[in-house]
């Protein structure tokens, strides 16, 4: 699938990895619509890169359905969905104040895992109506996992579980959607310089970067975007999770 022919929605597109992906797609000539809860930031960024914006809650079926329909109304069709919306939580299974808060655990799974599945299933339904290209493709879905899915650290039970779920979705969803020509991939990023991480301060970020095998730095969101673009253009990539982490293995 050539990027100039892409009509994409990017969830969590107002900041971080989602914003970098949306910018990269737009610069490559794709049509892009951002989906995000932050309407002010989302509209401003969409105007900056020449994209559309729709406020959407990934955990709500009605909200996502309406957002996808608005995106299609603007772009003419939907061929790519990239799921970057998510939250990070840090809490031990049993801490000084008692067991892990169950509501926070459920919320992390609801947004990161169920939200991604919600967008993917509804996007796939709309992609199935597209005419197939020369490779038989009608669409591509890219989900965001994390190396925490495989190397989760202390305090990451909820986050790691949600991202492991994303990793586990890749193959069965790809098999489910093969009959309609929709590919499914996941990217498992390591430690990337995003607004969420920048809030920790330079000293902590430098310490995290020191653990990366090579290159010894945090990931650049533009590198995540570059991989997402490559996935879209390589029709033989399907049903797989790609680690993007500088060979980092979390201790």
Segment 34-43 shows an average pLDDT of: 97
Pick the residue with more confidence: 201 or 144?
Answer: 144
| CA atoms within a 13 Å half-sphere pointing along the CA-CB vector of 145 | 27
Band (pLDDT 50/70/90 cuts) for residue 194 is confident
Pick the closest to residue 35 from 88, 2, 80 (CA basis). 80
Task: Based on the residue annotation, tell me whether 159 is a catalytic residue of this protein.
Answer: yes
Q: Distance between CA 236 and CA 6 in Å, rounded?
A: 17
pTM above 0.85, yes or no: yes
Catalytic site residue from 159, 173, 225, 238: 159
Segment 71-83 shows an average pLDDT of: 98
Segment 20-35 shows an average pLDDT of: 98
pLDDT for the residue 48? 98
Q: How far apart are the two ends of the chain, measured CA to CA in Å?
A: 38
pLDDT in tens, 131-143: 999 999 999 999 9
pLDDT for the residue 200? 65
pLDDT for the residue 240? 98
Segment 137-165 shows an average pLDDT of: 95
Segment 99-114 shows an average pLDDT of: 97
Q: Distance between CA 222 and CA 24 in Å, rounded?
A: 7
Q: Distance between CA 72 and CA 63 in Å, rounded?
A: 14
pLDDT in tens, 221-238: 999 999 999 999 999 999
pLDDT for the residue 198? 75
pLDDT for the residue 251? 82
pLDDT for the residue 148? 93
Q: Which of 88-92, 200-204, 210-214 has the highest mean pLDDT?
A: 210-214
Q: Distance between CA 168 and CA 184 in Å, rounded?
A: 11
pLDDT in tens, 51-67: 999 999 999 999 999 99
pLDDT for the residue 82? 98
> Which tokens go with 168?
């586990």
Q: State how beta strands 52-55 and 31-36 pair.
A: parallel
The rounded mean pLDDT for the chain is: 95
Give yes or no for residue 103 having a pLDDT over 80: yes
pLDDT for the residue 203? 81
> Which tokens go with 16?
């971080």
Strand segments, DSSP code E, in 148-247 are 182-189, 241-244
Domain ranges for the chain: 3-244
Mark residue 198 as left, alpha or beta (left: phi above 0; alpha: psi -120 to 50; beta: remaining). alpha
Mark residue 84 as left, alpha or beta (left: phi above 0; alpha: psi -120 to 50; beta: remaining). alpha
pLDDT for the residue 195? 79
pLDDT in tens, 118-133: 999 999 999 999 999 9
Pick the closest to residue 52 from 68, 61, 62 (CA basis). 68
Cα angle 148, 149, 152 (rounded to 5 degrees) comes to 40
Pick 3-244's CATH classification: 3.40.50.300, 3.40.50.720, 3.30.420.40, 3.20.20.70. 3.40.50.720
């Amino acid at each position: 699938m050539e990027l100039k022919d892409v009509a994409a929605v990017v969830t969590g597109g107002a900041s971080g990895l989602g914003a970098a992906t949306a910018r990269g797609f737009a610069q490559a000539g794709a049509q892009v619509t951002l989906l995000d809860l932050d309407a002010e930031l989302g509209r401003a960024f969409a105007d900056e890169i020449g994209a559309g914006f729709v406020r959407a809650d990934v955990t709500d079926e009605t909200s996502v359905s309406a957002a996808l329909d608005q995106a299609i109304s603007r772009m003419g069709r939907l061929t790519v969905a990239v799921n970057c919306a998510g939250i990070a939580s840090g809490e031990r299974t049993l801490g000084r104040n008692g067991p892990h808060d169950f509501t926070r655990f459920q919320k992390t799974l609801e947004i990161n895992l169920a939200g991604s599945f919600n967008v993917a299933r509804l996007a796939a339904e709309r992609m199935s109506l597209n005419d197939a290209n020369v490779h038989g493709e009608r669409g591509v879905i890219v989900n965001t996992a994390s190396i925490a899915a495989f190397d989760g650290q202390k305090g990451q039970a909820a986050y790691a579980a949600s991202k492991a779920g994303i990793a586990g979705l890749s193959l069965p969803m790809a098999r489910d959607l093969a009959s309609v020509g929709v590919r499914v991939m996941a990217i498992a990023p390591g430690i990337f310089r995003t607004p969420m991480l920048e809030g920790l301060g330079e000293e902590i970020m430098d310490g995290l970067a020191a653990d990366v095998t090579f290159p010894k730095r945090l990931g650049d969101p533009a590198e995540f975007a570059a991989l997402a673009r490559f996935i879209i253009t390589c029709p033989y990539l399907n049903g797989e999770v790609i680690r993007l982490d500088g060979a980092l293995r979390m201790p």
